[in-house]
């Protein structure tokens, strides 16, 4: 019987977050490599699935879904795990922090990685944007570290949630990208998030992703660049 899910991915890309969710849920899925080096995310066939030309896209029986936060929320609701139930008392708290992570934290990271797309070709302006974005990210991480210290039922608690999988991946990429400009980031400055990352990287779902995407033995607490290196964080 064919798998109901096909994940369009690139190594060490935002698709990693979705892969971890699929693994945590114990779901059968197929993968399709999107060759970023060849610009496959902008090919006509891929744009039919995701008109924004971004990774990931998850094909489902209900059609393709894109945007990492949307995929995570859909999977959680369909399979009854990784998030509080829609009518549960912790649902509102989970949603606000999931969308903060997706819309604020993750978006700021894109500004850091791709400053030219936001500010244009002026290198001085790009550098100024990166420095401001780094300061913003430190503020965002401090808020999340405080939340992790409180260990609400939907974050840094038991059972694992989509947020627990999402945030260590983002911290991984802050430590790695842009190459040569990551001195601002130190995971030990956010001790609760550091502990979360250490705990999550021991899970079987992460170990399978390490094997598949070449992420190294400590992908969140002491990350190394992926091998194979076809992907980059988005």
pLDDT tens, 92-144? 999 999 999 999 999 999 999 999 999 999 999 999 999 999 999 999 999 99
Residue scoring higher pLDDT (1 or 74): 74
Please check the confidence at residue 230 and state whether its pLDDT lies above 80: no
How crowded is residue 234: how many other Cβ atoms within 10 Å of its Cβ?
21
Res 169: pLDDT: 98
List pLDDT tens digits, range 166-211.
Answer: 999 999 999 999 999 999 999 999 999 999 999 999 999 999 998 9
Q: What are phi and psi of 33, to 5 degrees?
A: -70, 130
User: Cα(232)–Cα(209) distance, rounded to whole angstroms?
Assistant: 15
Res 47: pLDDT: 98
Please check the confidence at residue 229 and state whether its pLDDT lies above 80: no
Res 137: pLDDT: 98
Second CATH level (architecture) for the domain 91-203:
Up-down Bundle (1.20)
Sheet holding 30-33, edge to edge: 30-33, 6-9, 57-60, 63-66
How crowded is residue 70: how many other Cβ atoms within 10 Å of its Cβ?
13
The b-or-e profile of 23-52 (16+ CB within 10 A means b, else e) is: bbbeeebebeebebeeebbeeeebeebbee
Please check the confidence at residue 1 and state whether its pLDDT lies above 90: no
Confidence of residue 232 (pLDDT cuts 50, 70, 90): low
Domain boundaries, the chain: 91-203
Please check the confidence at residue 228 and state whether its pLDDT lies above 90: no
pTM for this entry: 0.96
Strands 63-66 and 57-60: antiparallel
Q: What is the 3-state secondary structure (H, E, C) of 28-85?
A: CCEEEECCHHHCHHHCHHHHHHCCCCCCCEEEECCEEEECHHHHHHHHHHHHCCCCCC
Please check the confidence at residue 163 and state whether its pLDDT lies above 60: yes
How high is the mean pLDDT of the chain?
95
């Amino acid at each position: 019987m064919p798998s109901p899910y096909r994940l369009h991915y690139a190594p060490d890309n935002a698709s990693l977050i979705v892969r971890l969710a699929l693994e945590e849920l114990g779901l059968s899925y197929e993968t399709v490599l999107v060759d970023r080096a060849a610009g496959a995310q902008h090919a006509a066939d891929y744009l039919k699935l995701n008109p924004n030309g971004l990774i990931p896209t998850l094909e489902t029986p209900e059609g393709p879904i894109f945007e990492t936060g949307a995929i995570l929320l859909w999977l959680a609701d369909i399979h009854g795990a990784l998030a509080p139930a829609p009518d549960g008392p912790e649902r509102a708290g989970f949603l606000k922090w999931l969308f903060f992570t997706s819309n604020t934290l993750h978006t700021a990271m894109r500004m850091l990685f791709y400053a030219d797309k936001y500010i244009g070709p002026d290198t001085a302006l790009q550098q100024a944007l990166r420095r401001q974005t780094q300061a913003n990210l430190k503020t965002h991480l401090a808020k999340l570290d405080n939340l992790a210290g409180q260990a609400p039922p939907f974050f840094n608690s038991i059972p694992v949630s989509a947020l627990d999988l999402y945030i260590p991946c983002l911290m991984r990429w802050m430590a790695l990208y842009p190459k040569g400009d990551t001195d601002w980031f130190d995971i030990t400055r956010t001790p609760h998030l550091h502990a979360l990352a250490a705990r999550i990287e021991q899970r079987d779902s992460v170990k399978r992703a390490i094997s598949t995407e070449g992420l190294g033995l400590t992908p969140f607490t002491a990350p190394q660049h992926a091998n194979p290196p076809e992907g980059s964080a988005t």
